[in-house]
Amino acid sequence: MTRSLLIFLGAFAAISMSFTALALLPGLQLSTIEPTPGTDDYTFEEQRGREIYIRDGCLYCHTQQVRPDGFGADIQRGWGSRGSFPGDYVYDETHQLGTMRTGPDLHDIASRQPSRDWHLAHLYQPRSVSPGSVMPAYPYMFEVKSRSNVLPSDVTVPISPEYAPPEGKVVVAKEEALYLYDYLMTLRLEPLEENRDG
């Protein structure tokens, strides 16, 4: 056997084995997993919101994985009543586990902060509700309208005076912001009866 063939075969064997073990086997192992209680398939609106979360890269600053008790301080911080399990993600076609916490974990945000007004104001201008935050504002998900042009179906967003638009104008959420809110409200970790090991 020539040296180059040996290198080739060795290199190929190495990568194929780890591919099988790390990329394929976990899929098989978890293929029969049940969704955890409270984990449901996404509705149309929630899925749209999830696509916006993906499109605008919330993942680069927010994780969706609560660390288990005894590892880190997530539970003590109030980021969830339990650690995350694989069953929490069964409907996630594109995983959004994340690796960075420039902002807090969001896997249980719906329990922690259910208010729609808060979320919409936060998206429009994070510093209006979280002073000192470095999160970008998302004004393009909102429209600033004259109060007289507001339609009955419009969702207006109360903004603190410091960041509010000029007199006579109001902030109205576009569909994007509402869908995103709908998606965030799916992020909830229901407590489990027994403590299963993922």
Q: Could you tell me the smallest distance in angstroms from the CB atom of residue 128 to ligand HEM? A: 23
Cα dist from 11 to 4, 7, 79, 175, whole Å: 11, 6, 43, 50
CA count, 13 A, side-chain hemisphere, 16 = 6
Helices H / strands E in the chain, number of each: 7, 3
List the one residue from 12, 19, 60, 140 that touches ligand HEM (CB under 6 A). 60
What sign for the dihedral angle of Cα 67, 43, 28, 12? negative
Is 134 a binding residue for ligand HEM by CB under 6 A? The answer is no
- Residue 39 interface partner, choices ligand HEM, other proteins, none, CB cut-off 5-8 Å depending on type: none
Taking the C-alpha atoms of residue 40 and residue 67, their distance in angstroms, rounded to an integer, is 22
Neighbours of 52 (CB within 10 A): 17
Residues paired with 36 in a beta bridge: none
List the one residue from 46, 48, 49, 59 that touches other proteins (CB under 8 A). 59
List the one residue from 100, 114, 158, 160 that touches ligand HEM (CB under 6 A). 100
List the one residue from 2, 4, 99, 153 that touches ligand HEM (CB under 6 A). 99
Is 97 a binding residue for ligand HEM by CB under 6 A? The answer is no
List the one residue from 41, 114, 134, 160 that touches other proteins (CB under 8 A). 134
Binders in 71-100 for other proteins, by CB under 8 A? 71-73, 76-78, 83-86, 88-97, 99-100
Residue 173 in contact with residue 157, Cβ under 8 Å? Answer: yes
Is 138 a binding residue for other proteins by CB under 8 A? The answer is yes
Chain centroid offset of residue 77 CA:
18
Is 40 a binding residue for other proteins by CB under 8 A? The answer is no
Is 47 a binding residue for other proteins by CB under 8 A? The answer is no
Task: Report the interface residues with ligand HEM, using CB under 6 A.
Answer: 60, 99-100, 102
